[in-house]
Amino acid sequence: MDWASIVGLILVVFGIISGQLLEGGRLSSLVQPAAFVIVAVGTLGAVLLQSRWNNFKQGVRMLRWVISEPPDSSKKNIADALIWSVVARREGFLSLERYMNASNDPFIGKGLRLVIDGIDPIRLKDILDVDISLYEMEQRQAAKIWEAAGGYSPTIGILGAVLGLIHVMENLSDPSKLGGGIAVAFVATIYGVGMANLLFLPVSNKLKEIIGREVTRREMLSDIFYSIALGDSPRVVEERLTNHRT
């Protein structure tokens, strides 16, 4: 559980509500279904228009990472890597098969399989680096839907404001309808800017950080498998790990 994200979300809501009340306003004035529909549905439509369906679905699934981050297994991987290097050095590459079968990580399984198969070390690293590049590209494309939403929602909020003003102009002869139109106009802008800067863009940046951390872990593993395939001693493997730690 990422408590920083939870606290941040609470502070966002608290800050908006407190500011509204301190100014003497009413919370009900911030609740405008028409403005919300314009901004939320309009932003969703724009994001869908620019995104592939698979990327959109993956990006939505990633949202849970903001509150519950994927476990960081880097420390375990480092400890395991030292074991792999010692075992490979003493018993040969085939002895790594039991670790490959026991691993639940597809990337680790692939790396160990390439080592066991005796793939040329340079070729092995090329294969793993391509795998890492594809993973990073796919994940970043999925996370990009939140960045896109952060770019579209303020503009759609302004569009909602214009629509509200059009409604006002159409009802100048009926003062009872002016208040609702003006409210929609201003609240739509608040929704658009607020959702972009308090939700969509922070979510996008958080997901990018998580993806970057996973890419770094895979790059570390790629170096480890390359070193093991070269037949480097456990001491050399440990030095490579030390460089990644720093």
104-161 confidence digits (pLDDT tens): 999 999 999 999 998 899 999 999 999 999 999 999 999 999 999 999 999 999 888 8
CA gap 111, 106 in Å, rounded = 9
Q: Which two tokens stand for residue 100?
A: 């490959």
Distance (Å, rounded) from C-alpha 22 to C-alpha 18? 6
Q: pLDDT band at residue 214, thresholds of 50, 70 and 90?
A: very high
**What pLDDT is recorded for position 25?**
66
Q: Report whether 192 contacts 39 (CB < 8 A).
A: yes
Q: Is 52 left (phi over 0), alpha (psi -120 to 50) or beta?
A: beta
The pLDDT assigned to 43 comes to: 94
User: In whole angstroms, how far apart are CA 74 and each of 16, 43, 108, 111, 221?
Assistant: 38, 37, 12, 15, 9
What is the CA 212 to chain-centroid distance, rounded?
9
Answer whether residue 44 shows pLDDT above 90.
Answer: yes
Q: What is the pLDDT of residue 11?
A: 82
CA distance 143 to 136: 10
Residue 133 contacts residue 101 (beta carbons within 8 Å): no
pLDDT attached to residue 79: 87
**For residue 229, is pLDDT > 80?**
yes
Residue 216 predicted with pLDDT over 60? yes
Chain centre distance of CA 51: 15
pLDDT at 10: 82
User: What's the mean pLDDT in 175-198?
Assistant: 78
* Rounded Cα distance, 10 and 23, in Å: 20
| pLDDT over threshold 70, residue 244 | no
Instruction: Write down how long the chain is.
Output: 246
